[in-house]
Structure 1
Amino acid sequence: MQITNNSKSGSFRGMLAAACIALSASVTGFAADASANTLVAVPHSGLRILDPIITTAHIVRNHGYMIYDTLLALDADFKVQPQMASYTVSDDGLTYTFILRDGLKWHDGAPVTAEDCIASIERWGKRDTSGQVLFDKLESLTANGEKEFVFKLKEPFSYLPETLAKPSSVVPFMMPKRIAATPADTAITEFIGSGPFRFVTEEYQPGVKSVYEKFADYVPRSEAPSWLAGGKVVKVDRVEWTAMPDAQTAMNAIQSGEIDYLEAPPIDLLPLVEGNDELTVKRLSPLGSQTMGRMNFLYPPFDNKKIRQAALKAMNQKDVLDAFIGNPEYYTICGAFFGCGTPFESSAGSESLTGSGDVEGAKALLKEAGYDGTPVVILQPTDVTTTKAQPVVAANALRAAGFTVELQPMDWQTVVTRRASQKPIAEGGWNMFFTNWIVPEIMTPLNNPMLNGRGKNGFFGWATDEKMEALRAKYIAAKTAQEQKAAADELQAHAMDEVSYVPLGQYNVPSVWRNVLTGPLESPVPVFWNIEKTED
C-alpha cells in the first residue's frame, strides 16, 4: 500500500499563492468484470441534479467537469492558464479580448462560438458570487465574429481572469447558446458540452448511476496536464459512477476489485484498507475542506440576529469534528471563515466555537431575544458520510441551549434540491443545513459563496447585508496585500457578529483506489482525464 500526503505551493495573486494547496484528486475506474477501458468509481454522493450552474453541490460540479469545459483554468502553481480561449488586456485594464482556440466542438457536432460563450457567462454571472461582482463592473460583453468576444469594463477589475478560472462552485462552464439561454433559476434539460467526455443520457439513473463516454472529437491542449489546466487527454472509453450509500459495502467493493476508486471513505473504516497492497490511500491537500452550518435568514427564528448568535454559542467544533471525523489526525479546529493556513486566516469572534461552546451565553441570548420556541427545522442527509453527523450534533447542542429542533431526514440530493427553496417553513422550507467546501473555494472575500449580502440573489440562506457587500468591495479595491488582509479581517469580524454562517472546522479525508490505475492527477476536484486502467 502507498500512503502519501503531497502538496504544492505557487503564486496565485501574490498572497494566495503561498496558501492554496492541491486538493482532492485522482479518479479512477472499476468493476472486476469491466474492460480495462471502463473506469467505475463510487463518488461521495449520488447524482440527481445535472445543472452545475443552479447549485454549488460538489457532485454536480464534478459532473460538470466531465462534460463541459472552461475558458481559463488554474494550474498546479495556481496560475491562470488558457483552456478554451486565450485573452489579451488593454493598457488601461478596461478591455479583455478572448479568442477561442481551434477545434472546439459541442457534443452534437456544432462548433463552439463566441455567442455560446457569452450566453454561458451571462447565465453563470447571475448565480455565482464572484460572477455577480464581475457583472457589477461590466459595461458590455459582445461578440466580434465567430471566435472572438470582448469584455468592456466600467472600471478596472484585475480579478477577471481568476474569476473565469475559478476551480469550484460555481464554475463558469461553457454551454451551447440554446441551453445557456435557460433562465438562471431554472434547471437545464439538455446536457451538451464540449468537454472530454459526453454524458450518456439514456443510461442515467438519478441518484444511482451516471455514465460518461470519451468524446472522440475533443481536441486536448498540447500542454501537459496540471490541476485543471493543460491537456485533458482521455485514456479510457467509458467512466461509470455508481452510488453506494452504505460505507461498509463500498469498502468491501474496493477491496474485492468490484470498484477501482472510492472518493470519500469514512475515516473509521480506513484501517480496513490500509493493509491492502493492491490499494493506494492518499491525501492530496493539507488544507482540505471546511465543514459549516448555514441558516435561513428569511424566516423565524434565524431572521433574528441574537437568535443566530445564540445558535453559534451553543455549538463547538470539537464535538462536531469528533462525531464527523473522529481521528484528530484528519481534522483541525479552525475558526477562520477563510480557512486556516491561508493568507486571510483570522480567529476573530470564534472563541466559543473553537473552545467548548457557551451554552449559558446561548440561553441568555435566547431569553434576551424573546425566543418563543419556534422550531428550528434542520435538513439531515442520511446517505453521505461527509454530511451525516453534523446535523445530529448541532441539534443536540441547540436543544441543550433551549431551542426546539426538528431534524428532517432525507438523502443528500433532496437536501440540495430543498435548500434552494425560499418558501416558508410550513410550505417545505428550512431553517438550517450543513455542507462542506474545499478550502480554495472559500479562502477569499471574493470567492467565498456564503459571504454574500445580496439577499435573494445570494447563496442559499439569502442574507441581506449591505455592510458585507461594502467590505467585499473594499477587499476588491485594495492595492496591497496589507490592505487586502485588513479588509478580510474586518469581514471576518463582521460575518462572525452577523453569524453569516457557522464554520465548524477543517478536515482532510483521503481517497482510496486500486493500483490498476495510473496517471491520476492532483486537482482541486476529482478528474478522470490522464488516467489509464490496466487489467488486474
Structure 2
Amino acid sequence: MSARRMRPEAAGPPMRRLRPLLLAAAAALAPLALRAEEKPLRVSLNTELQVLDPIVTSINATRVFAYMVYDTLVGIDSAGRYHPQMLEGWEVSEDRLTWRFRLREGLEFSDGTPVTAEDCVASIRRWAKREALGRLMLDAAEGFEVVDARSFVLKLNRPFAFVAEALGKPGHTIPVIMPARLANLPADKAVPEVVGSGPLLFRQASWRPGDRAVFERNPRYRPRAEPADGLAGGKAMKLDRIELISMPDQATRVAALQAGELDMLEIVPFHFIPLLQRNRGITIASQRGVEQMVSILNINHLQPPFNDIRMRRALQAAIEQPDVMAALGLPAGMSMECRSIYMCDAPLSSDAGTELYKGSGIERARALLKEGGYKGEPVVFLHAESSALLNPIGLVMADQLKRAGFNVDLRTSDYATVAQKRLSRAPTEAGGWSVVPIVWNGIDLINPLANPGVSYNCSDFNPGWYCDGESKALLAQVAETADPAAQKAIAAKLQAAFHRNVNYVLGGQFSAPAAYRSELSGVVPFAFPIFWNIARK
C-alpha cells in the first residue's frame, strides 16, 4: 500500500566562579552514578517531567516523554513534511472522502500485546476529545470502521484537507497510540498506566519527580528502515538507557554539562551561550525558521480587564518585541521581531493584520487605556521564575505593562505552579489570572488548523478561552481546501483575525538551542529533544 504525502501548508561568568558549581553539580549527581561502561545519556529538560499523559496536558516535558515511550501513526520530519510512521501507508479515494490505513507488521505495546486497528481508532477518538484539529477532523467524519487487526478506514461526510497532518500532529496534544483499554478511559483524566509502543520503556517504579526519570531501550520496538528525520523515519535506539535529571538551577546545569555529568541540556541558559561556544567539548545546536520559538503573552479573555477588547488592544500596543528579545541576552542573529503567527522564515509567513501595530508602544497603550476607560483593575501576572526562558521574558513584559498604566499584580512562583494556575477560569480575586508569558515551538505553528493561536478558537480546553466569530468560518474554509495557494490565502485571513481580536500578544521569535557533549554523534536536529539515533563516538 502506498503512502500519499500531503503538503502542509552577554558574556558568561569566569571559570573560577564556575568551579564551586562544578563541585555542587558533581555532588548532586553522585547518588546517580552507574558503572562507567553503562554510560546512560543524562539530559536536563527546561521544565520538570510531572504529567505522564500527553492527552491531558500540553507541557513540553510531557511531549518529550510522549515521543520516548509512545509512537504515532504519522511522523513529521524536520522540514514539516508528513510520512507514515506506525502505518505501512494509506490510500485516499478520488473524492477524498474515504481514507484507508494499514499498520506495519509486528508492532507491539510494551506489555507484549500487539498493536491493533482497534487500539488506533480508540486512541484517535480519545485524542480528538481534547484536541482542536482532531475535533475538526471528526466533525467532518461519518466514522471509523475496523477492517481487520491491521487495517481501518476513516469515512468523511465532507472533504477534510488535513487528515495526515492531524494524525502526525507534533503538539501540543499529541495523537499517541495506546491500548484501547486505556484509550477508552475518560480523556480529561490521566491514564493509570504508561503502555506505549515507542522506542523506550519508562521505569515508572523508579521515577522520583523532582529528581530523575529513567528510560531503557524497548526490545520490542521495530524501527522503520528509513533514516531518522525529525519525528519521522527510523527511531533506532543506539543507547540502552536515558535519564532525565531534574536540576532547577540554571548555572548548575551548565556546570554539570561542562563536567560531563550531564550529556545534554534541552535549552542553554542564554547568558551562558558565549561561554559554551568556546568549549570544544560542547556543541550548540543551530536553529532557524520553524525550529525556533516564539514568545507569547497568554491573555485570559474570560475575566476583567481583558474580556474587554479595548483593554486587549492596549495590551497589544504595550508589548514591544525588541525589549522582550533583548531580555534574553542572546548573541546577535539569534532573535528577531516577528508578528506572523506561523513564524517568520517559514512556509506560511505573512504580514497580514500587522498594520494594527503602526505607532504602537507605551504611549499608544496609555492612550488606548484612557480611551477605553480603564479603572485600575488588577492584572494578575503569573511569572515562572524557575524557567530560563519565561523568567526574563516575564520580567520585561510585566514592566512594560506597568509603564503603560496597568495595575500589575506580579505573582512569582515555579513553572509547575504557573502551569497549574493557568488552567483556572476563576476571577482574579478568587485565584484566577489575567496574563501569563508562555512560549510556542515553531514546529507547532506551520498548520493553521493546529496553530494554537487560532485553532483553539472557542475551545473549553484552551487556557485563555479566546473566541472569535470570524475565525470560526475561516477555520471551516481552510479545513476543506486542498489547494495550497488557497490554504495560504485563508491562513493570512486567520492571522489578521488573530491580531484584530488579540487572541494572544506576540513577543518575538528566537532560537532556544540545545547544547550537548561533542562526544555524542547522530543527534537529530529538531524543535525539541529526541533521543533515537544518538551514539557515543
* TM-score (norm. length: structure 1): 0.90
In the alignment, is the contact (CA less than 8 A) between 2:457 and 2:471 conserved in 1?
Answer: no
In the alignment, is the contact (CA less than 8 A) between 2:285 and 2:525 conserved in 1?
Answer: no
2:123 aligned with 1:120: yes
1:330-369 correspondence runs (5 A) = 330-350=334-354, 357-369=360-372
Instruction: Flag structure 1 segments of 5+ consecutive residues without an equivalent.
Output: 1-10, 17-28
**From 84, 87, 90, the counterpart of 2:86:** 84
2:43 aligned with 1:65: no
In the alignment, is the contact (CA less than 8 A) between 2:108 and 2:114 conserved in 1?
Answer: yes
**From 254, 259, 263, the counterpart of 2:262:** 259
SS in 1 for 2:216: strand
2:246 aligned with 1:243: yes
By how many angstroms is 1:87 displaced? Answer: 1.8
Report the equivalent of 1:304: 308
Report the equivalent of 1:208: 211
2:458 aligned with 1:455: yes
Q: 1:231 to 1:346 in 2, by over 3 A?
A: closer
2:330 aligned with 1:323: no
- Structure 1 range deviating more: 328-337 or 281-290: 281-290
Q: 1:31 to 1:269 in 2, by over 3 A?
A: farther
Q: 1:294 to 1:514 in 2, by over 3 A?
A: same
**From 95, 98, 109, the counterpart of 1:95:** 98
1:300-449 correspondence runs (5 A) = 300-350=304-354, 357-449=360-452
**From 275, 284, 297, the counterpart of 1:293:** 297
CA distance in 2, matches of 1:257, 1:112: 39
Report the equivalent of 2:276: 273
In the alignment, is the contact (CA less than 8 A) between 1:306 and 1:366 conserved in 2?
Answer: yes
Counterpart of 1:67, as a letter, is V
By how many angstroms is 1:227 displaced? Answer: 1.8
CA distance in 1, matches of 2:91, 2:349: 33
CA distance in 1, matches of 2:289, 2:458: 34
By how many angstroms is 1:71 displaced? Answer: 0.5
Q: 1:101 to 1:481 in 2, by over 3 A?
A: closer
CA distance in 2, matches of 1:188, 1:429: 27
CA distance in 2, matches of 1:143, 1:345: 39
Counterpart of 1:307, as a letter, is M
CA distance in 2, matches of 1:77, 1:59: 22
In the alignment, is the contact (CA less than 8 A) between 1:321 and 1:331 conserved in 2?
Answer: yes
Q: 1:114 to 1:481 in 2, by over 3 A?
A: closer
2:475 aligned with 1:472: yes
2:225 aligned with 1:222: yes
Q: 1:12 to 1:107 in 2, by over 3 A?
A: closer
CA distance in 1, matches of 2:7, 2:46: 33
By how many angstroms is 1:283 displaced? Answer: 0.9
In the alignment, is the contact (CA less than 8 A) between 2:289 and 2:346 conserved in 1?
Answer: no
Report the equivalent of 1:181: 184
1:161-180 correspondence runs (5 A) = 161-180=164-183
CA distance in 2, matches of 1:56, 1:185: 13
SS in 2 for 1:290: strand
| 1:278-325 superposed Cα distances (whole Å, 9 cap, x missing partner) | 221221434411111110111111111111111111111011111124
Report the equivalent of 1:493: 496
| 1:430-469 superposed Cα distances (whole Å, 9 cap, x missing partner) | 1111111221211332121121364343521111222112
In the alignment, is the contact (CA less than 8 A) between 2:266 and 2:528 conserved in 1?
Answer: no
By how many angstroms is 1:72 displaced? Answer: 1.0
In the alignment, is the contact (CA less than 8 A) between 1:71 and 1:82 conserved in 2?
Answer: yes
By how many angstroms is 1:365 displaced? Answer: 2.2
- Structure 1 range deviating more: 120-129 or 64-73: 120-129
**From 40, 44, 66, the counterpart of 2:42:** 40
- Structure 1 range deviating more: 311-320 or 185-194: 185-194
Counterpart of 2:390, as a letter, is T
- Structure 1 range deviating more: 180-189 or 237-246: 180-189
CA distance in 2, matches of 1:32, 1:284: 33
In the alignment, is the contact (CA less than 8 A) between 1:62 and 1:526 conserved in 2?
Answer: yes
Counterpart of 2:293, as a letter, is S
In the alignment, is the contact (CA less than 8 A) between 1:452 and 1:458 conserved in 2?
Answer: no
CA distance in 2, matches of 1:361, 1:78: 38
Counterpart of 1:489, as a letter, is A
2:161 aligned with 1:153: no
CA distance in 2, matches of 1:492, 1:284: 24
Counterpart of 2:121, as a letter, is I
| 1:61-112 superposed Cα distances (whole Å, 9 cap, x missing partner) | 1110000000111234543221111222222211112122222111111111
**From 498, 522, 525, the counterpart of 1:522:** 525
SS in 2 for 1:455: coil
Instruction: Flag structure 2 segments of 5+ consecutive residues without an equivalent.
Output: 10-28
CA distance in 1, matches of 2:39, 2:72: 26
SS in 2 for 1:436: strand
| Alignment coverage as a number of residue pairs | 511
| 1:328-352 superposed Cα distances (whole Å, 9 cap, x missing partner) | 4210111111111123322344467
In the alignment, is the contact (CA less than 8 A) between 1:197 and 1:212 conserved in 2?
Answer: yes
Report the equivalent of 2:26: none
Report the equivalent of 1:25: none
In the alignment, is the contact (CA less than 8 A) between 1:324 and 1:388 conserved in 2?
Answer: no
In the alignment, is the contact (CA less than 8 A) between 2:289 and 2:343 conserved in 1?
Answer: no
By how many angstroms is 1:416 displaced? Answer: 2.1
| 1:188-240 superposed Cα distances (whole Å, 9 cap, x missing partner) | 23211111111111121223321111111112222222221122111121100
**From 227, 234, 238, the counterpart of 2:237:** 234
In the alignment, is the contact (CA less than 8 A) between 1:107 and 1:192 conserved in 2?
Answer: yes
Could you say which structure has the greater relative contact order, defined with CA pairs below 8 angstroms and 6 or more residues apart?
A: 1
Counterpart of 1:140, as a letter, is G
In the alignment, is the contact (CA less than 8 A) between 1:47 and 1:413 conserved in 2?
Answer: no
In the alignment, is the contact (CA less than 8 A) between 1:455 and 1:465 conserved in 2?
Answer: yes
Q: 1:58 to 1:34 in 2, by over 3 A?
A: farther
SS in 1 for 2:333: helix
By how many angstroms is 1:515 displaced? Answer: 2.2
By how many angstroms is 1:471 displaced? Answer: 1.4
Q: What RMSD over aligned residues (CA atoms) do the two structures have, in Å?
A: 2.3
2:493 aligned with 1:482: no
